[in-house]
């Protein structure tokens, strides 16, 4: 156990789907929690937890909440594809406020990044975390920015962070794509605990997926955290194999339906638009 294990955890986005899971499981595991969200907390506040309703834009409140914590789980902000101006405030300015709060508190950040940072990679590619960002929308782009913010704050200020590129974290996978991207709630909870307990992590990037045989993803920094997933989507394959769309944009890319939103690229049918003759 490190000293960090004795300190409270700040959880942003506590009222969201994953925030509610983490509030429950971390409280059950005995952690002292500071919960915050712009929306009211819909559940009974667990023992050893306090909830503060606040906007990520409120830098002073975020800094106050972070003071004395060892780990900030940053799950707040916009969590689906939205127009640029809706993403900008929570996911860029709010993110900055969280990293500044972490710098002042000397806390480690665990960032809920997303597979949508790399969503335009084809499903036929197996990716390591060093792969190029290919965001599939403004939401994914904001998460790529968030990962780079972690890199900046590590190099410039020594703020540690773990960037968790979450796949599809749901009670159960829902379609054939999620046989590759599924992350169970229990694997997420165990991962977050390792992020809080691990010794030096520097800045680490991890694929947030269970042990799915059909995973799109390979090498990451999980060994540094001492985490490996215990669950898998594989048992759902017989039921979900045929659950696909008839849309080639959706089915070709790792990001699935997010790639289709506002898609106007006429080059569909060419395996990779970046490699069209005449384009650099």
What is the sign of the dihedral through the CA atoms of 22, 108, 91 and 39?
A: positive
Nearest CB to ligand 15L, comparing residues 143 and 190: 143
Nearer to ligand 15L, 25 or 114 (CB): 114
Extract the runs of DSSP E, i.e. beta strands, from the chain: 9-12, 33-37, 49-53, 71-74, 108-114, 161-166, 168-169, 182-183, 203-208
Residue with smaller CB distance to ligand 15L, 69 or 161:
161
Rounded Cα–Cα distance for residues 193 and 187 (Å) = 10
Q: Catalytic pick from 96, 99, 138, 139?
A: 139
Question: Cβ distance 142 to 183 under 8 Å?
Answer: no
DSSP assignment, residue 59? H
- Is the Cβ of residue 66 or residue 166 nearer to ligand 15L in the bound state? 166
Residue nearest to ligand 15L (CB): 168
| Distance (Å, whole) CA 255 – CA 262 | 14
CB atoms within 10 A of CB 76: 28
Radius of gyration of the chain, Cα coordinates, nearest whole angstrom? 19
CA angle 60-66-68, nearest 5°?
125
Nearer to ligand 15L, 168 or 189 (CB): 168
Please report which residue ranges of 89-184 form alpha helices under DSSP H: 94-105, 138-157, 178-181
Q: How far is the CB of 123 from ligand 15L (least distance, A)?
A: 12
**Closest distance of CB 108 from ligand 15L, Å:** 22
Query: Cβ of residue 260: shortest distance to ligand 15L, in angstroms?
Result: 12
- Minimum CB–partner distance for residue 32 and ligand 15L (Å): 27
Tokens of 252: 């070709």
Positions touching ligand 15L (CB under 6 A) are: 79-80, 114-116, 166, 168, 181
Rounded Cα–Cα distance for residues 1 and 46 (Å): 23
Burial of 256-278, coded b for 16+ CB within 10 Å and e otherwise, reads bbbbbeeeeeeeeeeeeeeeeee
| Residue 208 beta carbon to ligand 15L: minimum distance, rounded to whole angstroms | 9
138 is catalytic: no
Cite the active site residues. 139
């Amino acid at each position: 156990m490190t000293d960090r294990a004795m300190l409270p955890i700040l959880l942003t986005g506590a009222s969201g789907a994953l925030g509610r899971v983490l509030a429950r499981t971390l409280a059950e595991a005995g952690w002292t929690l500071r919960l915050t969200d712009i929306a009211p907390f819909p559940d009974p506040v667990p023992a050893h937890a306090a909830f503060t309703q606040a906007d990520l834009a409120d830098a002073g409140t975020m800094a106050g909440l972070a003071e004395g914590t060892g780990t900030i789980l940053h799950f707040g902000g916009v969590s689906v594809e939205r127009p640029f101006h809706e993403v900008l405030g929570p996911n860029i300015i709010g993110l900055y406020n969280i990293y500044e709060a972490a710098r002042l508190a000397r806390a480690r950040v665990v960032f809920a990044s997303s597979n949508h940072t790399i969503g335009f990679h084809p499903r036929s590619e197996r990716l390591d975390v060093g792969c190029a960002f290919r965001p599939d929308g403004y939401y994914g782009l904001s998460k790529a920015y968030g990962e780079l913010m972690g890199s900046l704050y590590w190099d410039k200020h020594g703020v540690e962070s773990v960037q968790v590129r979450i796949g599809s974290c749901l009670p159960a996978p829902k379609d054939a794509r999620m046989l590759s991207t599924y992350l169970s709630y229990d694997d997420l909870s165990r991962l977050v605990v390792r992020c809080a307990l691990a010794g030096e992590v520097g800045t680490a990037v991890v694929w947030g997926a269970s042990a799915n045989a059909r995973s799109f993803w390979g090498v990451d920094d999980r060994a540094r955290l001492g985490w490996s997933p215990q669950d898998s989507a594989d048992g759902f394959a017989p039921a979900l194999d045929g659950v696909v769309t008839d849309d080639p944009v959706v089915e070709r890319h790792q990001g699935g339906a997010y790639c289709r939103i506002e898609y106007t690229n006429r080059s569909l049918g060419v395996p990779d638009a970046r490699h069209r003759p005449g384009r650099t």
